[in-house]
């Protein structure tokens, strides 16, 4: 653990560029949305590493719609909820979902955040039914709003991509 801390301290002491700081802000916002916890320095460093190593940055920079969705999701938890609902149905391969999956994998692979994934749900059937109903209604509401907000941009993005493909 001390060696891990030392390595992280070394990486953290290096001057950080603006894109790296942007990734840290993104990681903080996404972690709050996904597991309602603040990521530690190790998770922040791995999230930055992942963007350098996995080629996700190229994806991110390629499409206007992806930049929009990542920006909205990182801006506020309600924005993340809307983006989550929209991309779950209409844009599963979006960059923002890739980033969430990447971050979830990092969070689950290290302490102390892995514990969040191991805790079983509490409550009986009535509580489960209530939660499902509440989450279902919330999802429908979020999806409705998100379609109004993001569908126009999505359609424009598709049309622009097709035109660019012809030229």
Partner 1 sequence: MMGKVVIIGSGASGVHFALSLLGKGYEVIMLDVGRAKPPAANPEDDFNGLKTNLIDPARYFLGSKFEAVVHPGSEGEYYGFPPHKSYIFSRPDSFRLEASGFAPLLSFAQGGLAEAWTGGVYPLNAAELREFPFDFDEIAPCYDEVAKRIGVSGVIDDLARFYPVHDNLL
Residue numbers of the site for partner 1 (CB under 8 A)?
1, 3-4, 7, 42, 46, 50, 53-54, 92-93, 97-98, 101-102, 105-106, 109-111, 114, 118
What span, in angstroms and rounded, lies between the C-alpha atoms of 1 and 118?
A: 22
Name the residue nearer to partner 1 (CB basis): 13 or 167: 13
Name the residue nearer to partner 1 (CB basis): 53 or 133: 53
Tell me the closest approach of the beta carbon of residue 46 to partner 1, in angstroms: 5
What span, in angstroms and rounded, lies between the C-alpha atoms of 48 and 21?
A: 9
Q: From residue 96, how far is each of 17, 18, 70, 93 by CA, in Å? A: 21, 19, 5, 8
Q: Which two tokens stand for residue 150?
A: 């993001």
| Burial class (CB within 10 angstroms; exposed 0-12, middle 13-18, buried 19+) of 50 | buried
Name the residue nearer to partner 1 (CB basis): 50 or 80: 50
Q: Which two tokens stand for residue 49?
A: 């590493």
What span, in angstroms and rounded, lies between the C-alpha atoms of 57 and 129?
A: 40
Tell me the closest approach of the beta carbon of residue 111 to partner 1, in angstroms: 4
Name the residue nearer to partner 1 (CB basis): 109 or 130: 109
Tell me the closest approach of the beta carbon of residue 73 to partner 1, in angstroms: 16
Tell me the closest approach of the beta carbon of residue 83 to partner 1, in angstroms: 14
**Among 21, 19, 86, which Cα is nearest to 56's?**
19
Name the residue nearer to partner 1 (CB basis): 62 or 76: 62
Tell me the closest approach of the beta carbon of residue 150 to partner 1, in angstroms: 17
């Amino acid at each position: 653990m001390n060696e891990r801390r030392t390595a992280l301290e070394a990486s953290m002491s290096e001057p950080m560029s603006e894109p790296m700081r942007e990734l840290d802000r993104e990681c903080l916002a996404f972690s709050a949305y996904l597991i309602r916890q603040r990521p530690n320095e190790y998770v922040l460093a791995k999230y930055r590493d992942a963007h350098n190593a996995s080629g996700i940055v190229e994806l991110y920079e390629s499409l206007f719609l992806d930049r929009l969705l990542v920006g909205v999701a990182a801006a506020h938890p309600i924005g993340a909820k809307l983006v989550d609902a929209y991309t779950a149905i209409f844009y599963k391969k979006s960059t923002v979902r890739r980033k969430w999956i990447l971050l979830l994998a990092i969070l689950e692979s290290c302490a102390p955040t892995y514990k969040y994934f191991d805790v079983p749900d509490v409550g009986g059937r009535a509580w489960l039914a209530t939660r499902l109903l509440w989450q279902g209604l919330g999802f429908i509401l979020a999806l409705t709003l998100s379609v109004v907000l993001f569908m126009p941009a999505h359609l424009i993005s598709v049309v622009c991509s097709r035109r660019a493909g012809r030229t």
